[in-house]
Amino acid sequence: MGRGRQRIPLSRIENDAQRSGTFSKRRDGLIKKANEISTLCGVEMLLVFFSPSGKAYTFSNPNMDTILKKYFGDNPMAQTNFTEQHLPAQQEVNMQIQYSRITDLEMQIQDQMKLNQALRDAEKARPPISDLPLSELQAMKHRMEMLRCDVLQAKMKVHAQAKIAHDDVGPSGGSAL
């Protein structure tokens, strides 16, 4: 068994590989929290941070141009340079978030395939339904109804997560810009 989630001391991680790994793991969480606070509190937000390797990552809501224009005025040169410099980093963040979601979905698919195989194996070991007594059939019916409810709840959860993911895109065209 693993040690599970543990609180780590809040100090600089000296090992470069560990520091880079921690950054990669926490970056998406930071962007998600920024999105949540901007959505829940209705605040305009522009978040710019740099990885240990020097890559720039940004998040903005409603969009970067609106926020930059508000605080830097109509100086298109400053705004254009900032946007042009960080557009590749924004696209990289979006790609990494999508890769993370794909990886999570692939793991869920693998888990479901294992469960499906286990169910097939269990089905082979059971006698035909026509040979079961009425009491066992009634119990089976109850378990199937419970399973149906669980499946419907899981379906609603997936739809809710998909809606949240779709809503995360936001007015700026990307969840992390």
Euclidean distance between CA atoms 172 and 58, whole angstroms: 12
| Least confident piece of the model among 65-74, 125-134, 166-175 | 166-175
Domain ranges within the chain, ordered by starting residue: 8-126, 127-170
Arithmetic mean of pLDDT over the chain: 79
CA dihedral 155, 100, 177, 20 (to 10 degrees): 150
Q: Beta strand 56-61 with 45-50: parallel, antiparallel or unpaired?
A: antiparallel
Give which of 88, 87, 25 is closest to 52, Cα–Cα: 25
pLDDT at 79 over 90: no
Q: Look up the pTM and report it.
A: 0.38
CATH code of 8-126, in short, is 3.40.1810.10
Three-state DSSP class for residue 126: coil
pLDDT of residue 152: 93
pLDDT at 119 over 70: yes
Three-state DSSP class for residue 105: helix
